[in-house]
Amino acid sequence: MTKLYKLPHDKFDKFLNGLMKSSELYAPVKTDAVRFQKITDIKKINLVDQPDFPIKEFFFRDREKLFSFVGNKVDVKIDKPPKRAFFGLRRCDLNGVAHQDFIFMEKHKDPYYIAQREGALLIGYHCDVAPSKYCFCGSMDLKDYYDLMFWNQDDHYLVHVGSDKGKLALTKEFEETKLNLKDDMKKIEFTDKLKNKDISKQYDNPDWKTKGSDKCLSCAACTTLCPTCYCHEIKDEVTLTDLKKGDRLREWSSCQLKSFTRVAGDHVFRDARTDRFKHRIFHQLQYFKERYNVEMCVGCGRCITHCPTEIDFVQIINEFEDKKKK
């Protein structure tokens, strides 16, 4: 269905207040950084800046207890959160959720992720302009993946319903229009920045090292802030007083850490920093698509924006293309 609805600006607060009565409302708030927080005052919602953190942590939690154990007995408890609505999701982050859903709900049915994700209402907010100079979402094949999507207009929002859950969230404040969703509404100017996503023949290019990994600190900020990265480790946490009793935990990890590919015998499969640096980019642009026919990267640019040494892998790839033409 492509029909668009209209929500006047002066009725917007009423819609959000209604959501807050029926569920917990999360939206971007600017404090020390812009992050999704539980909203008690809708005036604090920030729709100007790109959130520094995606909502990945609400569903694929950074540290999660899978079960407790005592000897051979296992106690599994999967807690479901209260009903939650997430407002202000950019198109890139919505696609990030789509890719996480694909991994944790379709390819591998993860009950812990599903419990956090199932009841969530996803409400998008389309960027008027690119919120960061490093955004390159226009280069990626992003899909419509939301319950509701908002476009800000002069005195109202245009709203598209993307699911049955979204349709149920509509209230009497929404007015039907004769307008339909068009492809040009999904475009964001100046975000088509990546000249070539096929980097399959560039693996041995020395520029990965000289322009990339030589500056890399292996801090893992890029993967932590990435809305699609799902690397994790499983570990048991016990006390010295009783080694037969403890918790099995899942914690975020990163392909940028040397410890990630360390195995028994202290062998590290990606010991060189250049190998780790390349692996992340090739996984985002090449490997995942070769395996699943889906581009993993959503072009949010956070890995560039928040890199402490300002490594811009899009620029590195574009310079490959510039050299080809010379």
pLDDT in tens, 117-129: 999 999 999 998 9
What's CA 63's distance to the chain center, in Å? 17
User: Does 221 have pLDDT greater than 70?
Assistant: yes
Helix, strand, coil shares of the chain, percent, nearest 5, are 35, 25, 40
Answer whether 0.85 is exceeded by the pTM: yes
Say what the pLDDT of residue 53 is.
97
The structure tokens 């899009």 sit at: 314
Residue closest to 199 by CA, chosen among 90, 278, 258, 306: 278
First CA to last CA across the chain, in angstroms? Answer: 47
Instruction: Give the mean pLDDT of 288-312.
Output: 96
User: Confidence band (pLDDT; 50, 70, 90) for 326?
Assistant: low
Percent with pLDDT over 70 in the chain:
99
Say what the pLDDT of residue 252 is.
97
Say what the pLDDT of residue 240 is.
87
Average pLDDT, the chain: 95
Where do the domains of the chain lie? 3-186, 207-325
Instruction: Give the mean pLDDT of 141-170.
Output: 97
Task: Give the dihedral sign, CA 95/100/103/105.
Answer: negative
Beta-bridge mates of residue 182? none
State the Cα–Cα distance between residues 130 and 134, nearest whole angstrom. 9
State the Cα–Cα distance between residues 166 and 180, nearest whole angstrom. 17
Task: Give the dihedral sign, CA 141/139/252/286.
Answer: positive
| Between 325 and 197, residue with greater pLDDT | 197
User: Does 323 have pLDDT greater than 80?
Assistant: no
Backbone angles phi, psi at 218, to 5 degrees: 55, 40
Say what the pLDDT of residue 322 is.
72
Contact 84, 97 (CB under 8 A): no
